[in-house]
Amino acid sequence: MFSIKNNLENEFIIKKSKFIGKAFFVNNKDEALNILNNIKEKYNDATHICYCYIIDNIIKFSDDNEPSNTAGIPIYNVLKNNNLNHVLAIVIRYFGGVKLGAGGLVRAYSNCVSSLVKDNIIEIKSGYRVKIRFNYSKIKDVEYILKNYSIVNKNYDEDISITFDIDIDSYAIIKNELKNIISNIEIIDNIYIN
């Protein structure tokens, strides 16, 4: 399975219209919708905010009042043709006063997303979001074991809790390394690691 390795942004001016492209790695639909809502709020003065996300068998796209099939489908086609999954691509358009025509719109939206994903594709692995709890005296041991993993959250309370992302193959190893140090290990969610 493939996705994008970095969240990226680009910008094009085509016949006075500004196109701002954004691509995001997303683990689930809620994450995609949250990003999309934030973009809509941030760019609330945009003429069109067109997008597509593919998350396993969930596919959603929108032309956002562009002529039918001139924005969402071209964005989807770029993602599909690159075998991408767990990805959200958004193109924000500020109309510049010159109509591009259906073919021009398809090319603009396609090229905007193509340039985002080009040279930015990686294989992704199945993984887990894991939460552990442990005593303060074990912090150095735990941090050493987790040094190569993506820490999502740390919480300092009566004990320390750390949430991190790990691929399935590494989980068994980490679980074994942590078993004598921590009081609780819990898989919170199934995710994909890029």
Q: pLDDT per residue over 85-108, tens digit each?
A: 999 999 999 999 899 999 999 999
Kindly give, in sequence order, each residue whose CB lies less than 8 Å from that of residue 68, ignoring residues fewer than 6 positions away: none
Cα–Cα separations (whole angstroms), residue 189 to 28, 51, 56, 71: 10, 26, 15, 33
Domain ranges of the chain: 2-123, 125-193
| Domain 2-123 matches domain 125-193 at the CATH topology level | no
> What pLDDT does 192 receive?
80
Residue 8 three-state SS: strand
The counts of H helices and E strands in the chain are: 5, 11
Strands in 15-124 per DSSP E: 17-25, 48-55, 58-62, 87-94, 121-123
The CATH T-level fold of domain 125-193 is Alpha-Beta Plaits (3.30.70)
Per the CB < 8 A criterion, the answer to whether 21 and 113 are in contact is yes
CA 25 to chain centre: 2
Q: pLDDT per residue over 50-85, tens digit each?
A: 999 999 889 999 999 999 999 999 999 999 999 999
The CATH T-level fold of domain 2-123 is Ribosomal Protein S5; domain 2 (3.30.230)
> What pLDDT does 135 receive?
87
pLDDT band at 194 (very low <50, low <70, confident <90, very high): low
Per the CB < 8 A criterion, the answer to whether 109 and 61 are in contact is no
Q: Tell me the pTM.
A: 0.79
In terms of Cβ atoms closer than 10 Å to its own Cβ (0-12, 13-18, 19+), residue 171 is: middle
